[in-house]
Each structure stands twice: as structure tokens, then as C-alpha cells.
Amino acid sequence: MKLTLIAGARPNFIKIAPIIHAIDEQQEMSINLRYRLVHTGQHYDQKMSDTFFKELNIPEPDTNLGCGGGTQAEQTAAIMVAFEKELIANPADLVMVVGDVNSTMACSIVAKKLLTKVAHVEAGIRSYDLTMPEEINRMVTDCLADYFFTTTEWAGKNLQKLGIPKERIFFVGNVMIDTLLQNRPRFRKPAIWDKLGLKKENYLVLTLHRPANVDEDTKFKAFLQAIIEASNGLPVIFPVHPRTAKILESLPLSHSPSLHLIDPLGYLEFNFLVQNAKAVITDSGGITEETTVMGIPCLTLRDNTERPETITIGTNELIGTDPAAIKPALKKLFAGEWKKGEIPELWDGRAADRIVEKLTGLYGN
Ligand code: UD1
Ligand code: UDP
């Protein structure tokens, strides 16, 4: 069986790593599953791409389509044009896409139009917020896909509501958590740890990259101001996404001794920081899952989430997008009143094994 695996952006690399390792292991047991790895080039900086391939032992992609940058339509169209050529030249029995980035949707459309089956990993999650490009990507991908690998029972129910038969939905768990659990013993101190003399639970980690939070100067500044004021003087470590960095270049910030802007970190260093933090403040989706599994309080600066289990079961809370909401939330944290949380069902480090098992069942050996 020939599988084409798609990855384009930082969270994709973290999700495909365990799938590739599970396929490699199964191949050693002589299953006939060959894969071709296609990098769309959506993320291209060394710190947003290469670092993850090296750290997570992902093989060199068979091809890189080089489709980074541009508007939503430009990027999606560029990936579609390039991936159509790629898939015609290298036909597959199945194209596997992960997550909800533009690469996920663009490659699903191309594959279906070339009459190739599509499997979606992390299918069925929904924020119902169509102002987010990711929600559109999820909806389109799930309308087209043939096989659906889900992180929760809830995601499966969402898919069934669309009329997708349960026989094509496989509740396997969370591949992002596979990577987390497999690499936890390898987490390592980033340079900022010794530079600032950081100590366990004595600092906050911040990440922000959603257009709704960073594209508007006044709002972005108000967020940073509110976080600095409410952080009890604790250092706030902010690994800045390149999208956010571009905005910060033209955003004069008054110097604050507690706010530390650094380059994006590699996976092992970033999660070392998260694992030892007092709390994480973020608008990322993946980070809410990782903090849930590590039991670290997570304050999400969004009005909704496609990952409700991180709130109902885990350590995440939706703080919203009003900077005034940060102070009371951090007050609750410092008062020791943050919930403890538990780990969602099947987030046990074996999701990728289950995916490969299903593929073997579907396509024979
Ligand atoms: C994308 C995903 C988002 C995901 C995020 C993960 C979509 C619609 N958005 O957002 O769901 O949470 O990745 O990080 O797919 N840039 C660089 N270097 C890079 C990558 C990006 O400079 O390596 C800059 C470029 O100016 C680029 C901009 O960031 O135009 C936005 O990148 P893009 O991939 O379009 O969206 P993200 O904001 O990264
Ligand atoms: N991450 C990282 N270094 C950083 C910031 C994030 O390795 O400096 C990892 C993080 O552990 C998680 C993933 O990147 O696995 C989340 O990616 P991001 O927030 O960019 O995307 P989202 O999950 O919001 O789509």
C-alpha cells in the first residue's frame, strides 16, 4: 500500500513523527506499507521546521513544495497547484493529512479530485467559529475525507452528525500526546533557564500567534501590558512565532524587565519550560493538550476552543479575548485555586500504533 503523508506547519511535524515511527516499526515486522513524505513548505524557517525534523527523528521529506507565505487564498492555491503535480507524478492509495492548517485542506481537495482516498488525523473537532481559517480547513477536510482518526469520542459524534458512518471513524487517541510522552525523558533546559536563573514554578510561559490576538496593535499591546501587570513580578518567557515577530517589529513596546522575548524554541526545550512553569498563557491549540497531560495550568486567550476536553477534563480555561480578564485569572492561579485536571481517554502515547493497525486492517498486509 502506498501512503502519502502531508506535513506543512510546526504542529503537523509534531503530529506526523509518531505515525512515521509506528509505520517504520510495523515495516520491520514485514507489513507492506510504503510512505512518501511531502512537506508543503508552509513553515520554512529553520526554527519552525528543520529543528523538529532533527529533534523528533523525522526523515528528510521526499519533496518540499516550497509554498510558504502569502494570503490564505494564495497559500492554499499554491499548495494545491504544487501538490497536484506531486500526486500525479507519485500516485498513492491514500493521502493522510493531520490537523487543521492550510496544507491539510489544500492537499485533501487535490487528493479527492484525483480520485485518491484521504485519511484525516485529528478529525471532527470543531470550534464553530468561522472567523478562524482553521475551522474552515477542518470542515472542508472532514467533508471530503474517507477515514477519520479522532482524539475524543466527542469528535466522532460531530462527524456522525454530518452523516459519516461510524465504520469510517476510528477513535484512536492523540498523536500529539504520543510525541509528548515519547520525548518527555529527553526534554532539556533552554539557554534562557540558566541565563535568568529560572526555577520550577517561578515563571510563566506565553505564546501568541492567532491573527485575532496579534494583528491589531492596540489589542496585542493591551494583552502584553495586562500579563506583565498581573504576573506578580514573575518572569514571562515569550517564544515569539515568526508571524508575531513581524508584527512586533513595528510595535513599539515599553521595556519591561519581566517580559522576555525569545526566538521560537525547539520541541524539547519548549516543553522543558512548559513542564516546569507556574502556568502557560497561550492561544495555541496543541499547547492546551500538552499542558493538560503535564498537569500545568493553562490560560487560553480565546473565546472558544475546538478542544473542549482540555477544559472539562484538563487544566485549561478559556479566559477570552478581553485583556481585563487576565488579572482575575492570574489572581486565581496565584491563590492556588487552579483546577488539577485529569488526562482524557486514550491520550496514552499509543494513538499512532492504533492508526497503523487500522491502516493495515483496511489495506491488508
Ligand atoms: C499556521 C496555521 C495555524 C497554526 C500555526 C502553527 C493556517 C491557516 N494557520 O499559522 O493554524 O496554529 O500555523 O504555528 O494554516 N512565517 C515565517 N516563517 C515560517 C512560517 C511563517 O516567517 O517558518 C511568517 C510568514 O510571514 C507567514 C506568516 O508567518 O506569511 C504566517 O504563516 P502561516 O503558515 O500562513 O500561518 P501561521 O500564522 O503560522
Ligand atoms: N512549540 C515548540 N516551540 C515553541 C512553541 C511551540 O516546540 O516555541 C510546540 C508546542 O509544544 C506544540 C506545538 O509547537 O507541540 C504547537 O504549535 P502552535 O502553537 O504553533 O500551533 P497550534 O497547535 O496552535 O496549531
On whether both 82 and 231 belong to a single domain, the answer is no
Q: Give dist(CA 325, CA 344) in Å, integer.
A: 27
Give a yes or no: residue 342 inside a domain. no
Q: Give dist(CA 104, CA 106) in Å, integer.
A: 6
Sequence-distant (≥ 6) Cβ neighbours of residue 187 within 8 angstroms: 268, 269, 271, 272, 275
Catalytic residue of the set 21, 39, 209, 241:
209
The reply to whether ligand 2 has any atom less than 6 angstroms from the CB of 290 is: yes
Query: Which residue CA neighbors atom 10 of ligand 2 most closely?
Result: 287
68 CA → ligand 1 middle, Å: 8
Considering only the C-alpha atoms of the chain, give the largest distance between any 2 of them, rounded to a whole number of Å.
61
Residue 113: predicted pLDDT: 98
The reply to whether ligand 1 has any atom less than 6 angstroms from the CB of 239 is: no
In the chain, which residues have pLDDT < 50?
Answer: none
Q: Give dist(CA 36, CA 348) in Å, integer.
A: 27
Give a yes or no: residue 166 inside a domain. yes
The reply to whether ligand 1 has any atom less than 6 angstroms from the CB of 211 is: no
Q: Render pLDDT for 83-103 as a digit per residue (tens, 0 to 9).
A: 999 999 999 999 999 999 999
Give a yes or no: residue 113 inside a domain. yes
* Catalytic residue check, 260: no
Would you give the distance in Å from CA 9 to the centre of its chain?
Answer: 9
Judged by DSSP in three states, 260 sits in strand
Whether the CB-CB separation of 2 and 92 falls below 8 Å is answered with yes
On whether both 84 and 210 belong to a single domain, the answer is no
Whether the CB-CB separation of 362 and 147 falls below 8 Å is answered with yes
Judged by DSSP in three states, 98 sits in strand
On whether both 231 and 156 belong to a single domain, the answer is no
Q: Give dist(CA 94, CA 80) in Å, integer.
A: 17
Q: Is the pTM of this model over 0.95?
A: yes
What does the block give as the cell for 295? 498537569
305 CA → ligand 1 middle, Å: 19
State the total domains in the chain.
2
Residue 250: predicted pLDDT: 84
The reply to whether ligand 1 has any atom less than 6 angstroms from the CB of 101 is: yes
106 CA → ligand 1 middle, Å: 15
Residue 57 sits in a domain whose CATH number is 3.40.50.2000
On whether both 330 and 358 belong to a single domain, the answer is no
On whether both 274 and 236 belong to a single domain, the answer is yes
Give a yes or no: residue 340 inside a domain. no
287 CA → ligand 2 middle, Å: 6
Q: Render pLDDT for 116-160 as a digit per residue (tens, 0 to 9).
A: 999 999 999 999 999 999 999 999 999 999 999 999 999 999 999
Residue 135: predicted pLDDT: 98
